[in-house]
Amino acid sequence: MNLKTGQSTNDIGAAELKTVWKDPEFDPHRVAAYYLRVLEIPTPRWSTLLTIENGLPIPKDVPVTEQQRAWSSPIWFTPTTE
């Protein structure tokens, strides 16, 4: 992240992720729920952007960036009664 402009670059991580995952404890007779959690790239905190915008020094006691978390919609598995 550029501490003079507040601009962050997306030069880390992957632009696209794909995987196949199998639950080793999956039991087709039991209810299950799955979801995916990811970390987004670090971005400037609102306090960092305000200090840059107003030409103030960056506070030393507050992190400069934050890293948001995201999660997918859940996938629910319900066994059939057959």
Q: Rounded distance, CA 9 to CA 59, Å?
A: 22
Q: Rounded distance, CA 34 to CA 17, Å?
A: 17
Give this prediction's pTM: 0.61
Are 47 and 59 a contacting pair, CB within 8 Å?
A: yes
For residue range 30-74, list pLDDT tens digits in order: 999 999 888 888 889 999 999 999 999 988 899 999 999 988 999
Q: Rounded distance, CA 70 to CA 68, Å?
A: 7
Q: What distance lies between CA 73 and its chain's CA centroid?
A: 14
Q: Rounded distance, CA 82 to CA 73, Å?
A: 27
